[in-house]
Amino acid sequence: MSTLIKVALLSRWHVHANDYANSAKENPNVSIELIWDEERERGEEWAKELNVPFEADIDKVLANPDIDAVIISTPTNLHKDIIVAAAKNKKHIFTEKVLAFNVKDCEDIYQAVEENNVKLTLSLPRLTENYYLYAQEALDSGKLGKLTTIRCRLAHNGGVGQNGAKTGWLPERFFNKEQAGGGSLMDLGAHPIYLTNRLAGPAKAVQAQLQQSKVFDVDDNAAVLVEYESGAMGIIESGFTSFGSPFQLELYGTEGVLLIEEGNVRIQSSHLNERGWQTPELPEALPMPMEQWTSSILEGTTPSITKEDVLALTAINEKAAQSQAEGKKVNL
């Protein structure tokens, strides 16, 4: 392959599809060559905007020898079939979280990816942020002692309709259970899930409360308790009905506490010379997921976002849905 990765954009269903298209346009190593969408009219409009051809037949897109890779923003229920087909056609794959609705489907996807020696990267962007990197360093260096509790909240008001609208700025298709698989936990809650998983380690059990208002087919407000093998307790919160809710990541340990709210990071620790709250110097952020993906294709580098991150994210979602359905704690 040359230093130019020729990609096809597959679907504008997800709200991040435009972001990925913009990232691809800004990347000097990527060229957008084709558009496909499961809704033809939407795809043709997008192709016109980007001034590239539209192809209505997904099989033709994937079989096209001029296409090196695909960026997938389809409904989540289409992920498995499209990603496996892309891998079998030797296309590298960048896609939105979650990879699939259950761990078995994720494993089937990875089997196809590994058998065909293509690169798959999932967009888990908060694992590249400086605040996460500092939290990991604070844990690893012992500044917090033994981690006892970790809480992460991410919520917005995208589901709050105005002037009689059913939803807010999130499109109504995001509340389609068949396509999306879930609601606020599956989509927005993915970020707290993969952060807490990475910081606390392997999960042992899950208990979930997925609130569902009458207007939606999926949860629009969710809280999950995760018991980790390390002994730490995880508290994960997400929602589509909270105005002005700040992103929060809190780590509590036997010898320190780290609080992150939006861009503000502060720490107290018995291992620091100064007592009371300190504002630490943060490390440099890692490259964003798409940049890591293109580097892995062109240079053979290993992305910081791992298969284990991806599988663990789906596992928590899968068990949370089971916990909600059964009304009890579920072991992994």
Please report, for the domain that includes residue 301, its CATH number: 3.30.360.10
User: Domain end: 65, 100, 118, which one?
Assistant: 118
Q: Using a CB cutoff of 8 Å and minimum separation of 24, what contacts does 156-164 make?
A: 156/188, 156/239, 156/240, 156/242, 156/245, 157/240, 157/241, 157/242, 157/243, 157/244, 157/245, 158/240, 159/184, 159/216, 159/220, 159/239, 159/240, 159/241, 160/240, 160/241, 160/243, 161/215
User: Are 319 and 171 members of one domain?
Assistant: yes
User: Domain end: 118, 148, 181, which one?
Assistant: 118
pLDDT of residue 140: 98
Confidence of residue 3 (pLDDT cuts 50, 70, 90): confident
Give the whole-angstrom CA distance, residue 330 versus residue 326.
9
pLDDT of residue 174: 92
User: Are 147 and 295 members of one domain?
Assistant: yes
pLDDT of residue 263: 84
| Structural tokens at position 124 | 């888990």
The label of the residue with tokens 């012992």 reads 142
Strand partners, 209: 223
User: Are 24 and 149 members of one domain?
Assistant: no
pLDDT of residue 8: 98
Reduced to 3 states (helix: H, G, I; strand: E, B; else coil), residue 85 is helix
User: Are 144 and 255 members of one domain?
Assistant: yes
**Contact present, 31 and 51 (Cβ < 8 Å):** no
* Main-chain dihedrals φ then ψ at residue 221, nearest 5 degrees: -160, 125
Give the whole-angstrom CA distance, residue 150 versus residue 235.
6
Q: Is the pLDDT of residue 165 over 90?
A: no
User: Are 246 and 314 members of one domain?
Assistant: yes
User: Are 199 and 73 members of one domain?
Assistant: no
Q: What is the dihedral of CA 142, 143, 147, 153, to 10 degrees?
A: -140
What is the domain count for the chain? 2
User: pLDDT tens for residues 292-309?
Assistant: 999 999 999 999 999 999
Confidence of residue 163 (pLDDT cuts 50, 70, 90): confident
Confidence of residue 60 (pLDDT cuts 50, 70, 90): very high
User: Domain end: 79, 95, 118, which one?
Assistant: 118
Q: Is the pLDDT of residue 1 over 70?
A: no
Confidence of residue 266 (pLDDT cuts 50, 70, 90): very high
pTM of the model: 0.96
Confidence of residue 161 (pLDDT cuts 50, 70, 90): confident
CATH of the domain at 16: 3.40.50.720
Whole-number Cα distances in Å, 76 to 1, 14, 105, 145, 181: 29, 9, 12, 39, 7
Confidence of residue 215 (pLDDT cuts 50, 70, 90): confident
User: Are 242 and 210 members of one domain?
Assistant: yes
Give the whole-angstrom CA distance, residue 156 versus residue 238.
8
Q: Is the pLDDT of residue 209 over 80?
A: yes
Q: Is the pLDDT of residue 110 over 70?
A: yes
User: Are 189 and 73 members of one domain?
Assistant: no
User: Are 61 and 38 members of one domain?
Assistant: yes
Whole-number Cα distances in Å, 27 to 5, 23, 141, 190, 260: 10, 6, 35, 26, 30
> By percentage, how much of the chain surpasses pLDDT 70?
99
User: Are 139 and 288 members of one domain?
Assistant: yes
Cβ-proximal residues to 23 (8 Å cutoff; 6+ apart), any chain: 288, 290
Q: In the chain, which ranges are continuous DSSP H helix?
A: 17-26, 40-50, 58-63, 79-88, 103-115, 130-140, 177-180, 190-200, 289-299, 307-326
The label of the residue with tokens 């999960």 reads 203
User: Are 282 and 241 members of one domain?
Assistant: yes
User: Are 159 and 213 members of one domain?
Assistant: yes
Give the whole-angstrom CA distance, residue 237 versus residue 265.
19
When pLDDT is averaged across residues 45-58 and rounded to a whole number, the result is: 98
Domain ranges, residue 39: 5-118
Strand partners, 206: 226, 330
